Structure 1
């Protein structure tokens, strides 16, 4: 008998707690993510850090056991992870030391370095399995649930492809926007977590090992079944069972091909650890057997190497988890043809003339605390040249971060010192800056770089649609460009309920403005927001992921768009953008059946839309452009009850 302890390590030295809220919009104590520019020989690349902050190992019989570069056994407290942050008492084990060492020897063939995955199959996967073997229990949920908590945030979802690429067997595939920036330093973090560099890319064509989990005892199997919405569990004995040697690779391919959020693929080898005990608990009498579970309950079983039937039952599980959206069965050519490319305000004025005008505003500012000369020097000598490089496509990134840091601080001071009527040149400078992808990635790298922009946006939202026209217009165009970058807009506009509420209230007021230019700019913002939401929804549908549940702001946007369409009788361009925005918010929406369908009915959206096609509905003759008429009809007749 021996005491069993779980050693919990803080690999980030406390940075996880301080950084996660700013980066993910949620307090996740176990995730630390930082981006930073890395300049080498004048060329800027981007590095990132993401680590599972809570690394764990098991201490029993005077030995510390952990998984990284395979299974390692050391004296307690002497591993490369340093001092444990926390020691959790997991109870006592009746397993003798010799049996434990035999078990670990068997496990070495399964917990190998090439199967390690930072999120899906890591040190915590191993300790949960080992604790189950030793005590029949499981490691605490605050450790087990870390990856799911992180990946449920927009930032985590954006980084998932980058993390997967680190462990992909074969050449890495491109990942979009900020996620692509993370790969370099992520690799070094994985090395710290696993104990050595991740395995080099292999020539094999298989992808990740991670979707297939291992269970070697009854406790760890129960834990995996109950930790997921659904599970497919293969009971196998390939060393002695010829059909198992057929079923095993087929099941692994299914795990790769049908990988989905909420669905676990688990393999139990009866000849490994307490595999036979795990099989006996579920009444397995032959191998191979695949059992299917939903919400912890057994719902099906396939005996033998009947690969088509095994795959069919997996598809039924997926259907239960992610039933097809009714819109996927509809022919909506005009809606499906909407480009999801954002509308950008890309005009760049004479920056020297704009700066001269803004300098006069700074000189006239009554605030003594504002360092006027240094602020003007920063803008004239560093920010304007930076924007000129953006305009010509010749951005030199070497001094990007220091300039953005100082510009952010100056923006916050200027927002306090000048009235909104005089801030439109500053807002326009930021609008131009957001046309640069490298610059947007830099902004997304650190909350410190976006603090000034956040202050400026808050001022615009507070002023609302009654703000001075130049400031309102430039702010709307700024936000349209910002929303074109998903990670940055999530960070600055959508990471919290309060942010979304401020944004929606501002847009609702501007949509109903009497100023045609303001309505056009606002419709551009709503379209970019809707396109971003649609990209997320389509990705969820295609990849069997949970769709976003932040429905309240979408419902409010849909209400505002219908009202704005009803009132828009002069600009066909505005009608086009509003109708496209409404279509993208509604199409494939996870709350269409429960909220949006009824809302559109109550708002009489079908009649509102069809009136746009009639004389006087939009201009003297109604909407005339063929593609706009097709979109309005598609939306009204198919998606509006």
Structure 2
């Protein structure tokens, strides 16, 4: 024999929410909903514990709405046993208006009786309220009202910010609602069967406070006490990620791990269908049936669900592993960057090690040529003489380079490089631009030495030789190809040291960008290839930093990031890709550079608009067609796969956008 089940819905604000919510919160909230379940001739609700009264006879008065929820085949004795077990979970001290309230209890009962749930507009009220600036401002006070309640049981006073519209009225409404929600009613004459009610509390006058602390995340981190399969399935269907804790009253290890699970629920939950945490006691209600459904035989057991499907199971007390698995689940459900959910196997297969130019010329020949340039200077300027410069080069610099590039070093690297800037400045001041490329090549080779690059990282790069070399490369007029090429290769080698790379990006960004943009459009294919390599090194460096920030879930912007700079580089790369029709190697490095910049860019929205305007997908795919790169288009399979991946997954389709 089946029994009808009804849902009674009350507005605890008595219409004030509907009238004033728009003014106080900026959103229309029709009511502060309280619900109860009516079955077997009784009205059951949660406030000061589980309360039972005759239908419509509670202190809440007459319901605003009565909703028929179908029928239950469960008999009254079974339901009473269920309520008895639930009393251990739904106690007066656990009540919270936004986390664990009357609607939590009603929804649980509904799942037990009918397999259904109460209307979403009731259960979504907490997140609706908290999404408003007023709700966020009141979060700490609401939390203190219930977690820091005075011994008498009277609600604490709430002091919203003076910036809140009519703060005293807002606080009075909230305090009155809370008092009405938690009161047990006028007394036994009302037919309520439960503990003695707390006395009514009148709203106190509220002085405005100057400011409020930051919102407490606990208010949007409900712990779902689940007692039946239907309630749990509703939770799975309404949340992308769910962590379920199967426990029992007699399980000592469960009591050890429960605080950790509670802390995770408080700090990691996401409202509005995000991340939910459920606690299932096998001895309460149909908790045992739910455990049997998922073949849980021991406690504590933790199950992890993504989009309704179980992804992992953890048994026993292991707090570090529990935290790790929760983080992994959240990371998979809500990757910190939209592109993290994309399958980018070709891009991810690219090593992020910098492209270095490690070829070593005949050092004796190179130094002889440089010595000849020095001897050709007729009017030498500076405190360091020609003879001193040649002596330092021959006795100190040349042996260091030979030792550091030899297969078996003949001598250890120099302990000090402090004379290098003075030596370099003297040569830059006295030699012609066309005569400087051997000097730049010395620096290119030296930067491959870990000690030398580390030493440079401790100096002011913006005032040192690297910057001066770039200034010469950017001067007006024709810059000799050999000099420009060697400067680009030297800068690429500067990325052999991560600290030095950071200094180059931070303190010479403007010069590096100008040099890179100009070189990418150079007529010489070797220069373009060196520029593409430098661009790749910059993008790979940023990619490493961005991956580390994603793993740490760090949303702050690092000093190396700059939106204007990134968009300028992207424009230059796409222009260079479109113009490059001969070198597949250059195209490969340029597309890899573009992909790394786009993958975890903090400026995805802005860059997407730019890519649309530049018709980036068409430009990239054009390299695959005849004539796009050499006669038949890009031929290597791995390069073709990378181009298609970057074009289709990271660049918007103009046709689709229109």
Give the TM-score, by structure 1 length: 0.50
1:570-589 maps to which residues of 2 (within 5 A)? 570-589=582-601
Query: How many residues were matched structurally?
Result: 360
1:516-595 maps to which residues of 2 (within 5 A)? 516-546=525-555, 547-548=557-558, 549-592=561-604, 594-595=605-606
1:259-274 maps to which residues of 2 (within 5 A)? none
1:626 maps to 637
1:486 maps to 498
1:391 maps to 405
Q: For residues 361 and 524 of structure 1, do their structure 2 counterparts lie closer, same or farther at Cα, with a shift above 3 Å needed?
A: same
Please point out which of 511, 520, 536 is paired with 1:511.
520
1:598 maps to 609
Deviation at 1:423, TM superposition (A): 0.7
Instruction: Measure the CA separation in 1 of the matches of 2:525 and 2:614.
Output: 24
Residues 403 and 412, structure 2, Cα contact 8 Å, conserved in 1:
no
Deviation at 1:545, TM superposition (A): 1.8
1:417 maps to 430
Please point out which of 492, 500, 510 is paired with 2:509.
500
2:363 maps to 351
- Find out whether 1:453 has 2:453 as its counterpart: no
Residues 526 and 581, structure 1, Cα contact 8 Å, conserved in 2:
yes
1:468 maps to 480
Residues 623 and 629, structure 1, Cα contact 8 Å, conserved in 2:
yes
- Structure 1 unaligned runs (5+)? 1-221, 235-241, 259-304
Residues 381 and 429, structure 2, Cα contact 8 Å, conserved in 1:
no
Deviation at 1:400, TM superposition (A): 2.5
- Structure 2 unaligned runs (5+)? 1-209, 222-252, 270-316, 653-658
Instruction: Measure the CA separation in 2 of the matches of 1:608 and 1:617.
Output: 9
Deviations 1:111-169 (A, max 9, x none): xxxxxxxxxxxxxxxxxxxxxxxxxxxxxxxxxxxxxxxxxxxxxxxxxxxxxxxxxxx
2:446 maps to 433
Please point out which of 378, 386, 404 is paired with 2:392.
378
Deviations 1:609-631 (A, max 9, x none): 11100000000101001111101
SS in 2 for 1:400: coil
Q: For residues 337 and 596 of structure 1, do their structure 2 counterparts lie closer, same or farther at Cα, with a shift above 3 Å needed?
A: same
Instruction: Measure the CA separation in 1 of the matches of 2:613 and 2:446.
Output: 42
Instruction: Measure the CA separation in 1 of the matches of 2:346 and 2:422.
Output: 46
Q: RMSD between aligned alpha carbons?
A: 4.1
Deviation at 1:367, TM superposition (A): 2.7
Instruction: Measure the CA separation in 2 of the matches of 1:312 and 1:348.
Output: 47
Q: For residues 478 and 254 of structure 1, do their structure 2 counterparts lie closer, same or farther at Cα, with a shift above 3 Å needed?
A: farther
Instruction: Measure the CA separation in 2 of the matches of 1:460 and 1:566.
Output: 28
- Find out whether 1:636 has 2:647 as its counterpart: yes
Q: For residues 468 and 374 of structure 1, do their structure 2 counterparts lie closer, same or farther at Cα, with a shift above 3 Å needed?
A: same
1:326 maps to 338
Residues 453 and 496, structure 2, Cα contact 8 Å, conserved in 1:
no
Deviates more, 1:247-256 or 1:457-466: 247-256
Give the TM-score, by structure 2 length: 0.49
Residues 576 and 628, structure 1, Cα contact 8 Å, conserved in 2:
yes
Instruction: Measure the CA separation in 2 of the matches of 1:523 and 1:540.
Output: 26
Deviation at 1:453, TM superposition (A): 2.4
Instruction: Measure the CA separation in 2 of the matches of 1:531 and 1:487.
Output: 14
Instruction: Measure the CA separation in 1 of the matches of 2:255 and 2:477.
Output: 67
Residues 401 and 442, structure 1, Cα contact 8 Å, conserved in 2:
no
1:408 maps to 421
SS in 2 for 1:478: helix
Residues 427 and 456, structure 1, Cα contact 8 Å, conserved in 2:
no
Instruction: Measure the CA separation in 2 of the matches of 1:229 and 1:612.
Output: 53
Q: For residues 244 and 559 of structure 1, do their structure 2 counterparts lie closer, same or farther at Cα, with a shift above 3 Å needed?
A: same
Deviation at 1:364, TM superposition (A): 1.8
SS in 2 for 1:346: coil
